[in-house]
Structure 1
Amino acid sequence: MTMSDINKILKALPFINDDLIYFYNYHSNKIENNSLTLGETVTVLKDGFGVSKPLKDIRDVENHHRALHFVFELAKTQEPLSLRTIREIQALVEPERTGFRTQLVEILNTDVKTAEPFEISLRLEQILENYHRKDKDEQDFFYKLAEFHIAFERIHPFIDGNGRTGRLLLNLELLKAGYPLTTIKFEDRPMYYDAFSDVEKMKILLEKSVQDTIEMIVEKAK
């Protein structure tokens, strides 16, 4: 399926439904090693029942749910992505660990050097400025988004919630551009991690994830 085919399908599809929300929540948290299954995620979010899993994992799912609905509301405004938006989303993802970190952190299993605490705000402003540059409008949307996502995760501005916040930012921009809520699946985690070394790889993964999501919507609509 080409991106042209995808664009035609998008015009006839509902972008957000409960199944997509639960699916996205499960996979984004699972990438961060959350122990809840998809069924347990649905039980917590839809039915409001408890499950026999660590309380932190349950709280992460619930907080992520609130953050995602905040993203839906933000997408309607079409406001440009900003430092304030980034901080607001992370504060919903990790309400007990908000604000930019004040200590050095490492990204496990990589040799990426994250930002020094004193330079986090400046580097975020720089990647936002680069993302919003007018000449970027001529650039492939998915390439531009992939470039931003990699840069954001390399800065790693928070003590916790960077991955989930980063993927919510991806979806904020996708929704604003008319794409559906899109999931990077847990099964694609090795490909996802590898893509942080190459913008083109990340672009391809984002396009694949959008296509997978649309195909899932179409299949459920049959």
Structure 2
Amino acid sequence: MKITFVIISILIGIICVLTVWLQYFYIQSLYLKTSVGSATPFPIFEDMVASEMIKNVVDRYNKSETYILGISNLLNNAVSKGSTTFRNHSLVTHTEVQHLLKAALAFKLSGKVDKAMKLLEHVASIAPQNPDLLNQYGEYIEHTHNDIVAADVLYYKALTYSPNHKGALLNRKRSANLVDKFDLELFKLIDKKRDLLQEKQKTNTFYKAMKRKAYYLHIYHTVAIEGNTLTLDQLVSLLDTGQAVEGKSLLEHNEVLGVELAMNYVKLLTRCATISADEILAIHRRVLGHVDPIGSGMLRGEQVFVGSHVPPAPEYVPALLEDYTTWLNSEEAQSLHPVRYAALAHFKLVDIHPFTDGNGRTSRLIMNLVLLRTGFPPILIFKYQREKYHESLNLADKGDVRPFVRFIAQCMENSLNFYLSNMEYRTGITHIFHKVPSID
């Protein structure tokens, strides 16, 4: 019986190896066909997804908050998390909320801005779904902090709980147009920085060192967002030496190895004319291949629940994935600004949630594949941005995808800043680690 089991295990292993090799040569043949006489644009930053031979180094990163990510984090956290801070918001009456809002307004009118802010935060913690609170909170942020972006998010939240709220309707009609203009300016800024990076790439002697740093950071942060506890030093050691890290689970080791394998596969796909459902499954197979060899690359066969989001029933997933790839390869999608296109590609796939596990990692890889194919470098989403990342995804799930697109655009600008700043000089890996203690 034991001998039979061993033989079967060996045969399964051989089949898996042969499958990987066949997929490799299949992709290579696609690569050759599409790279000759194809209308597909040359992926300028293709080699920023490092190959197996690129091992070493990591970076520093300026964590200064920006206009978009500044006070918005505080507000979203106050609204989404505060319900456990004081008492059950179901016990708070509408009259109590109105009294507190009037008191906050009185503080504001009398010039006691800090007290007004604290009182609004208190109301948000005990009544996070109250539309009057959300609308007034938005007005306060807009007029006191001049943050139309954060205010627009709050107006939208108010309308999700009360679609006919007059104040929120008027405010959202006005703020939406202003935010659209703001987003347009952000895309223009991103385009300028992308063009500058392309120019620097041609002659800069530090380009190779920079892309190696980015390579390790991509793997580190994409698994850290999912809860992996390997430090940056440990991850680099694992990938450089192949030696296990003491005190870390086999699962965490395999998560890192899976993302590395998937990133190398994504590099092969950058010149393919289209992205198919089979290729998405192949990416997932590599992401989870070391963790779940049997379930990796397979669509889920059960209903899953992701926080407040309820993905489609499993029987609808195959058709939805085909619809997704049809959109992904459509002129409609490809006519969008590449960053918007990539953000929507991420959201639409994670919304379907086609797999039992690994949906976030696969969606982020698809997002970066889209960017590489459209002449942009890959995006770095740092693990300290995890809450903002999930918050903006939740808003998209409720119907407003703009905060998520804006978040991804801001991550792209930050990534471009990182690429540009790290092409200015060469640093050693020890020096880099000392510069980024907060990243771990």
Q: Is the shorter-chain TM-score for this pair beyond 0.5, marking a shared fold?
A: yes
3-state SS of 1:114 partner? coil
From 14, 26, 31, the equivalent of 2:220 is 26
In the alignment, is residue 129 of structure 1 matched against residue 326 of structure 2? yes
Matched with 1:173 is 370
1:146-198 deviations in Å (ceiling 9; x for gaps):
22221211111111111111111111111111111221111111111111123
Return structure 1 stretches of 4+ with deviation > 4 angstroms.
none
Gaps of 5+ in 2: 1-185, 202-206, 425-440
The root-mean-square deviation of aligned C-alpha atoms, in Å, is 1.8
Partner of 1:102: 301
1:72 pairs with 2:271 = no
Aligned length, in residue pairs: 219
Alignment pair present for 1:92 and 2:286: yes
Q: Is residue 194 of structure 2 the alignment partner of residue 7 of structure 1?
A: yes
The within-5 A match list for 1:1-222 is 2-11=189-198, 12-13=200-201, 14=207, 17-52=211-246, 53-75=248-270, 77-95=271-289, 96=293, 97-98=295-296, 99-107=298-306, 110-196=307-393, 197-198=395-396, 199-222=401-424
Q: CA deviation at 1:127?
A: 2.1
- State the alpha-carbon separation in 2 of the partners of residues 171 and 148 from structure 1: 10
The letter for the 2-side match of 1:81 is: I
Greater displacement, 151-160 / 140-149 = 140-149
Secondary structure, in 3 states, of the residue corresponding to 2:422?
helix
Structure 1 residue 25: Cα displacement: 0.4
Letter in 2 for 1:136: A
Indicate conservation of the 8 Å contact 1:10/1:179, yes or no.
no
How far the C-alpha of 1:46 sits from its partner, in A, is 1.8
Q: Deviations over 1:16-61 (max 9, x none)?
A: 7221111000100001001111111111112322212111101110
Aligned amino acid, residue 325 of structure 2: L
Decide whether aligned partners of structure 1 residues 141 and 179 sit closer, same or farther in structure 2, where only a CA change above 3 A counts. closer
* Cα distance in 2 between the residues matched to 1:135 and 1:163: 24
Contact conserved, 1:143 with 1:200, CA < 8 A, in 2? no
Tell whether the 8 Å contact from 1:93 to 1:165 is kept in structure 2 after alignment. yes
Distance change (3 Å), C-alpha of 1:195 and 1:40: same
Tell me how far apart the structure 2 counterparts of residues 89 and 56 of structure 1 sit (CA, whole Å). 18
Take 2:348 and 2:378, find their aligned partners in 1: how far apart are those partners?
22
Q: State the distance in 1 between where 2:196 and 2:224 align.
A: 29
Asked which structure has the greater RCO (Cα within 8 Å, sep 6+), the reply is: 1
What is the CA-CA distance between 1:94 and the residue it aligns to? Answer: 0.8
Q: Secondary structure at the match of 2:378?
A: coil
Letter in 2 for 1:103: E
Q: Secondary structure at the match of 2:385?
A: helix
Higher-Rg member (1/2): 2
Q: Secondary structure at the match of 1:182?
A: coil
User: Shift of the alpha carbon at 1:4?
Assistant: 3.1
Q: TM-score, normalised by structure 1?
A: 0.91
List gaps (5 residues or longer) in structure 1.
none
**CA offsets, 1:46-94, max 9 Å, x none?**
232221211110111011101101101111x232121011000000011
CA spacing shift, 1:128–1:216, aligned 2, 3 Å? same
Instruction: Give the Cα–Cα distance (whole angstroms) in 1 for the partners of residues 230 and 236 of structure 2.
Output: 10
Q: Distance between the aligned counterparts of 2:193 and 2:318, measured in 1?
A: 36
Q: Secondary structure at the match of 2:299?
A: coil
Q: Output the CA distance in 1 between the equivalents of 2:377 and 2:240.
A: 21
Separation (CA, whole Å) in 1 of partners of 2:379 and 2:309: 26
Which amino acid in the other structure matches residue 315 of structure 2?
F
Change (3 A) 1:112 1:62: same
Q: State which drifts further: 11-20 or 60-69.
A: 11-20
